[in-house]
Structure 1
Amino acid sequence: MDLHVHTPASRDVDPLTYGATEARQIVDMAIAAGLQAIAVTDHNTAGWCDEVADAARGTPLVVLPGVELSTSEGHLLAIWEEGTPAQFIEDVLVELGIPRADHGDLHKSLRTGFAETARRVAARGGLAIAAHADREKGLLRIPVADHVNQTMLDPAITAVEIVDFAEADKVRARLTGKRDLAVVRSSDTTAPGASVHVLHGIGHRRSWIKASRPDLCGLRHAMADPSLRIRLTEPPVPEHTVIESVAVTGGFLNGQQFNFSSDLNCLLGGTGAGKSLLIELIRFALDQQTDAADFPQVRKEVESRLKYALTSGSTVEVVLTRGRARCVVRRAYFEDRSTPPEFVGDTEHLTGLSGRIAITGFSQSEVIEYARTPVGRMALIDAALDLTEFEIREADTVARLNDNGHLISEFGVKIAQARLKLQTLPDVEKRLAELSDLFDGNTVKMQASWSSERALFDTLVGLPELKLADRTANGAKFLASAAVAANQDLYDRAQAAYTQLDEAIDAARAQLSEAMLVVNKELAAIRQEWLDRYQDFDRQLAEAVSRIDVENRGLAALRTRLIELQTEEAKLNTLQTQLNEEFLPGLTTAKAYREELISELLEARQARRRRREDRIKALNTLMGGIVRIKLLRENDDSTYLTDLTTIAKGSRLRSYLQQISEKSTPVKLVRSFLNGDVDGVCAATGVERKHIETLFEHVTERGLIEDLLQMQTLDLHDGLSVEFRKHHNDGYVPIERLAHGQKCTAILIIALADGDDPLIIDQPEDALHAPWIEEYLVAKLRDLRGSRQYIFATRSPGLVVSADAEMIITITSDAANGAIEATGALERHDLNILALYHLEGGPIPFKRRTIKLGSSMM
């Protein structure tokens, strides 16, 4: 807007140098300069106001009629609403003391000064601005500083107009703590470096006014809250992600399209109108719903609301922008079978590595749930972090640890079974020695050799079948016609690739099967040939024993027993070799590898923790000391205790498990088990040795080694400590000791502190103490404006009015459907009335409260 435009109606305009003789030329120049509104303010006259307004009709330019008054102290701009007739303004001039014959005489001064003239202008519906206050005949040039300050404090002075940027800070400094006075810049229809009025000077100085429409109503609201609504430099294009619109097809909000601003948006309406539903539809469409694992009850309530308010096949379409990037996200609702979101457009700049568009969302009462548990609060930190790298590393390491645990468990079983069998070896050797004395030494040696080979050749037949990976079923997905016809060639190529793979697998499987058949046939032949040779030896040896047993001592039967014992000894010796050379070294290697994997797992979790700590440090700085947060390492041992209780079931150790879980970690407990370090566990936990021994023996005897090892991968989730202080000179109080409203305030301050993704909250004021809404939330929202988009479903006057919502959407409903009632900002009359109704209950209760509480404002 340029609020100070002169036309040839001003007598100090030189027709030869001004550059225009018709009103349309002024309108065209303003539009060419990129202005959306101008105020026509000639010296002591409204002579061209009607002409310029008529010339602007049918164009996008808004023309506000006005006048530049020469008061007894200096120049004052008086501006009225568009459409106000020049005749009305001329009548006001007469009332102020300028006869019609003197209209246009810039040397004709009023008898009243700035403040009194401004009050009289305001009484006649106008808006008063101290013109070029830092130049000749400007308010700031009055030598008495106290009088200048008192004049600027007069509410009838709506703003001061300056030429030099530096003067804006000086004006604010003079009024600090007393008034937030609007400061504007306008051209005075002068070119840079010149003082005469020229057409091309229009717009060379200008102000940016935040309003739904650049009329006097919008201007009044802007000047009532200048820190949020008036800028002397062009506002930057939003660089943060913005939800531009949401369209719903089907269900309770069928056919409704909601358009949002890039800043603060507030949804108003009665109970059941659809405010909360709209919040949930946005989260549903973007696949950013409440985590069922963290807050199952909240998620259950949300799912129930969606099921009630949406029909099967309903769709939600969300349009998002970030800078020049634009993306459309669509998602269809089918209860438990809802489709994934479909992205169309420039997703590269709007989606992260997760493939989702980041938002920070809170369903109704979800803020309260975040306040309850340290582990649940960690989601506030993780929401703005990309932890995918650590999740992948952790999942991969856990998978390898589980495979390793299975291997260690198998080795443990084999070692235990081997040692149990090997306990019989001394007895076998003793009985074998006794029998050997009855036979010739060479006979015994030959028999022992054949018995040793029997243990080897008996296992030769029945080579287990080797299997290749199963054929993939993914190729079937590409048999159908392409969803996008232009991509049919890619479908065909994918199907051909999978067919090629399946053919290769089939060929390899056939080749392997044929090789297995040949090898097993050969091994069977080898074993049979060995058996034939053994039978020859056995016949020869039996004949020899018959010749020796002339006294009929039963040597043939004893020889059978000798063979059995020799075979058993051979098997036990083989088992002993396996134990020493395979099982025990394999277990040692598996344990060592497990320690490497544990180190990898802990490093991945530590790296994730460092990233969280960096974010926490940044958040603490941004929160300005109101809230302080800390990382609680491995804060949740509930799953550890649950798993330990399951494993120890039947051991009669329940009374000691709590102490073990509190004083140890799964990693250290399992490590002690694998190393047989009972004393280490006792020292760490304070539990008696006999109880730890019982636990370890129970795990081994019940075959629960693999279950215990799997427990070593448990993540004792980090938690978030939150502390709050009401004032800078107060101490911090842990959130667990705070009142309900203070808890929610602390959580919301964290949510507001950082990030530029859209912040969407259903009734953020729930359970908050009313003064805190103003002191903490509103103050923070005002500080952060322009850096993030906010969408709140709310009933709080503080959030809507004090925080100055850019876009208000009121929703109404009947029994079957909800619908948009009105959209816009507070300066719109219909929105103002609806906001008064929804926030204050209407004008009558608002007036009653004003009357009864207004005395406290005196």
Structure 2
Amino acid sequence: MHTYGASEPREIVDAAITAGLHAIAVTDHNTAGWCDRMAEAARDTTLVVLPGLELSTAEGHLLAVWEEGTPAQHLEDVLVELGVVRADHGDLHKALDKGFADTAKIIAARGGLAIPAHADREKGLLRLAVADRINQTLLDDAIGAVEIVDLAEAEKLKVRVKGRRELAVVRSSDTTASGASCHVLHGIGHRRTWIKASRPDLCGLRHALADPALRVRLDKPGVPEHTVIESVTVTGGFLDGQQFQFSCDLNCLLGGTGAGKSLLIELVRFALDQQTDVGDFPQVRNEVDSRLKYALTSGSTVEVVLTRGHARCLVRRAYFEDGSTQPEFIGDTEQLTGLSGRIAITGFSQGEVIEYARTPVGRMALIDAALDLTEFEIREADAADRLDDNGRLIGSLESKIAQVRARLETLPDVENRLAELSGLFDGETIKMQAKWSAEKALFEPVVGIPELKVTARTDSGDKFRRSSAIADNRDLYQRAQAAYSQLREAIEAANAQLAQVLLVVNKELVAIRQEWLERYQTFDRELAEAVSRIDVDNKGLAALRTRLVELQTEKAKLDAQQTQLNDELLPNLTTATSYREELLAELIDARKARRKRREDRIKALNKLMGGIVRIKMLSENDDSAYLAELTAIAKGSHLRAPVLRVICEKTLPVKLVRSFLADDVDGVCTATGAERKHVETLFEHVREKGAIEDFLRVQTLDLHDGLSVEFRKHANDGYVPIERLAHGQKCTAILIIALADGTDPLIIDQPEDALHAPWIEEYLVAKLRDLRGGRQYIFATRSPGLVVSADAEMIITLTSDAKNGVVEATGSLERHDLNALTLYHLEGGPVPFKRRTVKLGSSMN
């Protein structure tokens, strides 16, 4: 060992630890002399030491590695079996009479792992002259992996065995370093291999080499850039005192019915305030709430630790049956929360996947889940509020215009009767009387102005009275509170001043009206006296004059209303209608912008799904609310449902109401094919019923974008709409979208529900294996495919008694206890698994 620059085993152990290695294999040529000494030197350290040999076979160098703790004597016995007598142990030039494959078989039979050494260098496997011999050796099951020096050889080897074997390729330093002509201590770890295993012993190494695509890397893994749920701690309730640790990749929760798997999924969603929307899927949400109510006591808390890169955050939330607290964030919240103030995850409760598959609008929630649509929601809500205000104004104007026009229908009759009476009196008298009558219509209504107040929305300021989600933003909350307080004070002061002025003005108006009435009464007495002097023959002129005054007053009122109609009501209606079009443009623009963002995301998703699933946007797809509103408004009009259905299907709410305001019956008939009498009946009914405001509100209805999902089994098949798929196929399509969608943690309770077993392997497992490394997955499952074939990094098994659920074991499949528990929970135990293996095994050959 002096050739390594070390005289004591501990020096090599320390050098390996300093280099950041977790395990090393001691493989001297034809000797196990240092194996026991190295194991002893590493006993009080974290370094795993695997004993081994480097053998000179008849074809080249071969590494043989055994499990940690295997005594050197066992390795020496294997050397003797291979033909190296004890006297020749340590002889660098002693070669075996067997080649790579035959030697590897003996090593495997004796519990070891065989790896051709430095295959791309001198005395390496790839330097054999016969290519067919190289290929035969690479495909031999006794060969556990191939060691290379140059990274470029890794891809070449994969191509060489593609479709015939998934062969692991590894690198190790051989304690050499750049520029060194011999083995050197600082060369330890110069070339290395990263493997995924709960422990880097031979058991962990075997599992990694059996699935190299997911467990073996020749480049250093980076720090996960995606959000990771690191741990969940529960206090109180069914899982009281339990802590769950998760990997940054695939996690699977196993256990019997009622052990707490589904509950844990729901606790994570509860803590992060990412539960199923009760508006979207009320049945699923009610089931979840019932589960939480049963499994948690009032005051129970859930703590979730999350990381992203080097950022770290703890989220704590307490459960109360009558209203739970909001999540509390501690740590690097700015780096983990979005604009919504929440940490984004994608979660599916049990049965929720199929709910997404049922309707196009429901499926759109999959797209919206990873989008921040707050900007568009605010714009849309603002435009809708202003449209409601505008609708009330237009409704009021339409009502007033209808009333005025009804009154003005009597004007010709009043004018005729007035002309007949006017001939009986002096012309100047009539003119003067008419002037006083006109003023009477003006002054009589002056009885005071009703209460006036300045109004403005200040309730939005209440939300800033809460604790700030981000501590550093507390000053902004305080400034917002101060601004709203200033506004409220100004409104109160303005209203107080307005009330004082209004009192003075109303007193003055009452006095003005009273003085006018006194003057009119004086004129009226004088006119009555004049009529008495004229009516010497008792022709009844006094009574006729009274009627004349009534007609003149009525004419004055009607003239005033005609003026109001022409100068005020109709222009105001035109202005309000024009402004409504501007508001509608704002509303439509907000929805178009939201639709564009969805379409961009759909394009990105389609690229990620590899052609298995294709999704499309269905603009303004759901007219159910439109039909319901129109049916309610048309109630009592005797219009039949098919007529209303045709109108809904053939014209949008914006256009229908626009035609109503323009009294464009023909336009609606042309667009919908409806009979003229039906459209006229609808429009007349709206006006007669006084439902103009309700009808205008129909314009703000969101018909909701929908999502068309199409699925194809194979590349050469055509796409089939999700509505025509079987239950399990629908779920598969939705899950493929979820798997391809983003980097937020994906949490699903029993994703395999209703899925055909081959589809789990062909689609879900295959997709999971392709996507690994860029996202965290947490599944409560009973599927061997998802746990074993997809190679779960972290398996958590739960068990329970009548009162509590507890963690039974955690780890990955290479751990014996986890392997046995996984076999039990997924297959029912060794006996049924062996029985199935025997009966179905013939199909494997």
- TM-score with structure 2 setting the length: 0.96
Residue of structure 1 in register with 2:808 after alignment: 821
Q: Match for 1:628 among 599, 611, 614?
A: 614
Moved more, 36-45 or 509-518: 509-518
Describe the shift of the 1:489–1:321 C-alpha distance in structure 2 as closer, same or farther (beyond 3 A): closer
Describe the shift of the 1:801–1:483 C-alpha distance in structure 2 as closer, same or farther (beyond 3 A): closer
* 1:636-651 equivalent positions in 2, closer than 5 A: 636-651=622-637
Q: Match for 2:554 among 564, 568, 571?
A: 568
Instruction: Read off the aligned partner of 1:547 and give its amino acid letter.
Output: R
Q: Match for 1:779 among 748, 755, 766?
A: 766
SS in structure 2 at match of 1:795: coil
Q: Distance in 2 between matches of 1:306 and 1:165?
A: 52
Q: Distance in 1 between matches of 2:485 and 2:715?
A: 70
Moved more, 231-240 or 557-566: 557-566
Describe the shift of the 1:554–1:583 C-alpha distance in structure 2 as closer, same or farther (beyond 3 A): same
Residue of structure 2 in register with 1:557 after alignment: 543
Describe the shift of the 1:494–1:173 C-alpha distance in structure 2 as closer, same or farther (beyond 3 A): closer
The offset of 1:507, in angstroms, is 3.4
SS in structure 2 at match of 1:211: coil
* 1:732-751 equivalent positions in 2, closer than 5 A: 732-751=719-738
Contact 1:472 1:502 in 2 (8 A): yes
The offset of 1:539, in angstroms, is 2.3
Residue of structure 2 in register with 1:115 after alignment: 101
Q: Distance in 2 between matches of 1:369 and 1:161?
A: 50
Q: Distance in 1 between matches of 2:756 and 2:468?
A: 57
Q: Which runs of 5+ in 1 are unaligned?
A: 1-7
Describe the shift of the 1:695–1:482 C-alpha distance in structure 2 as closer, same or farther (beyond 3 A): closer
Moved more, 267-276 or 603-612: 603-612
Residues 1:56 and 2:76 aligned together: no
Q: Match for 1:329 among 315, 328, 331?
A: 315
Residues 1:676 and 2:663 aligned together: yes
SS in structure 2 at match of 1:529: helix
Contact 2:334 2:470 in 1 (8 A): no
Residue of structure 1 in register with 2:827 after alignment: 840
The offset of 1:499, in angstroms, is 6.5
SS in structure 2 at match of 1:760: strand
The offset of 1:468, in angstroms, is 3.1
Instruction: Read off the aligned partner of 2:712 and give its amino acid letter.
Output: R
Describe the shift of the 1:349–1:141 C-alpha distance in structure 2 as closer, same or farther (beyond 3 A): same
- The one-character-per-residue Cα deviations of 1:10-29 (angstroms, maximum 9, x if unpaired) are xxx63xxx321111111111
The offset of 1:323, in angstroms, is 1.0
- TM-score with structure 1 setting the length: 0.95
Residue of structure 2 in register with 1:90 after alignment: 76
Residue of structure 2 in register with 1:5 after alignment: none
Moved more, 778-787 or 651-660: 651-660
Residues 1:216 and 2:202 aligned together: yes
Contact 1:645 1:654 in 2 (8 A): no
Residue of structure 1 in register with 2:697 after alignment: 710
Q: Distance in 2 between matches of 1:391 and 1:486?
A: 27
Q: Distance in 2 between matches of 1:575 and 1:490?
A: 53
Residue of structure 2 in register with 1:141 after alignment: 127
The offset of 1:486, in angstroms, is 12
The offset of 1:504, in angstroms, is 4.3
Residues 1:512 and 2:498 aligned together: yes
Contact 1:471 1:505 in 2 (8 A): no
Residues 1:349 and 2:349 aligned together: no
Q: Distance in 1 between matches of 2:29 and 2:464?
A: 78
The offset of 1:496, in angstroms, is 7.4
Residue of structure 1 in register with 2:407 after alignment: 421
The offset of 1:335, in angstroms, is 2.9
Residue of structure 2 in register with 1:396 after alignment: 382
The offset of 1:366, in angstroms, is 1.0
The offset of 1:555, in angstroms, is 2.2
Q: Distance in 2 between matches of 1:331 and 1:698?
A: 53
The offset of 1:322, in angstroms, is 1.1
The offset of 1:472, in angstroms, is 6.4
Contact 1:251 1:310 in 2 (8 A): yes
Moved more, 646-655 or 550-559: 550-559
Contact 1:370 1:376 in 2 (8 A): yes
Residue of structure 1 in register with 2:530 after alignment: 544
Instruction: Read off the aligned partner of 2:235 and give its amino acid letter.
Output: T
SS in structure 2 at match of 1:116: helix
Contact 1:247 1:257 in 2 (8 A): yes
Contact 1:295 1:369 in 2 (8 A): yes
The offset of 1:596, in angstroms, is 1.9
Q: Match for 1:294 among 280, 304, 308?
A: 280
Residue of structure 1 in register with 2:430 after alignment: 444
* 1:586-605 equivalent positions in 2, closer than 5 A: 586-605=572-591
* 1:52-451 equivalent positions in 2, closer than 5 A: 52-451=38-437
Contact 2:23 2:49 in 1 (8 A): yes
Q: Distance in 1 between matches of 2:470 and 2:715?
A: 60
Q: Distance in 2 between matches of 1:643 and 1:769?
A: 42
Identity of aligned residues (%): 79
Q: Match for 1:758 among 732, 737, 745?
A: 745
- The one-character-per-residue Cα deviations of 1:172-206 (angstroms, maximum 9, x if unpaired) are 11101011111000001111143411111100000
Moved more, 674-683 or 147-156: 674-683
Residue of structure 2 in register with 1:691 after alignment: 678
Describe the shift of the 1:58–1:344 C-alpha distance in structure 2 as closer, same or farther (beyond 3 A): same
Instruction: Read off the aligned partner of 1:840 and give its amino acid letter.
Output: E
The offset of 1:493, in angstroms, is 8.4
Instruction: Read off the aligned partner of 1:659 and give its amino acid letter.
Output: V
Instruction: Read off the aligned partner of 1:101 and give its amino acid letter.
Output: A
Contact 1:273 1:813 in 2 (8 A): yes
* Aligned-residue RMSD, C-alpha: 2.2
Describe the shift of the 1:296–1:468 C-alpha distance in structure 2 as closer, same or farther (beyond 3 A): same
- The one-character-per-residue Cα deviations of 1:718-771 (angstroms, maximum 9, x if unpaired) are 111111111111111111111221111111111111300111111111111111
Instruction: Read off the aligned partner of 1:186 and give its amino acid letter.
Output: S
Describe the shift of the 1:684–1:510 C-alpha distance in structure 2 as closer, same or farther (beyond 3 A): closer
SS in structure 1 at match of 2:159: helix
The offset of 1:485, in angstroms, is 12
Q: Match for 1:849 among 833, 836, 844?
A: 836
- The one-character-per-residue Cα deviations of 1:128-154 (angstroms, maximum 9, x if unpaired) are 111111111111111111111111111
Describe the shift of the 1:419–1:480 C-alpha distance in structure 2 as closer, same or farther (beyond 3 A): closer
Q: Distance in 2 between matches of 1:495 and 1:625?
A: 52
Describe the shift of the 1:730–1:578 C-alpha distance in structure 2 as closer, same or farther (beyond 3 A): same
Residue of structure 1 in register with 2:646 after alignment: 659
Moved more, 467-476 or 95-104: 467-476
Moved more, 510-519 or 490-499: 490-499
- The one-character-per-residue Cα deviations of 1:593-624 (angstroms, maximum 9, x if unpaired) are 21222222222212211221121122112111
Contact 2:711 2:733 in 1 (8 A): yes
SS in structure 2 at match of 1:344: strand
SS in structure 1 at match of 2:174: coil
Instruction: Read off the aligned partner of 2:705 and give its amino acid letter.
Output: D
Q: Distance in 1 between matches of 2:108 and 2:476?
A: 71
- The one-character-per-residue Cα deviations of 1:241-288 (angstroms, maximum 9, x if unpaired) are 111111111111111111111100000000111111111111111111
Moved more, 54-63 or 157-166: 54-63
Q: Distance in 1 between matches of 2:271 and 2:112?
A: 48
Residues 1:467 and 2:426 aligned together: no
Residue of structure 2 in register with 1:731 after alignment: 718
Q: Distance in 2 between matches of 1:641 and 1:497?
A: 44
The offset of 1:502, in angstroms, is 5.3
Contact 1:471 1:502 in 2 (8 A): no
Describe the shift of the 1:470–1:704 C-alpha distance in structure 2 as closer, same or farther (beyond 3 A): closer
Describe the shift of the 1:845–1:415 C-alpha distance in structure 2 as closer, same or farther (beyond 3 A): same
Contact 1:648 1:654 in 2 (8 A): no
Q: Distance in 2 between matches of 1:332 and 1:653?
A: 54
- The one-character-per-residue Cα deviations of 1:669-703 (angstroms, maximum 9, x if unpaired) are 11111111112222222221111111111111111
Describe the shift of the 1:582–1:487 C-alpha distance in structure 2 as closer, same or farther (beyond 3 A): closer
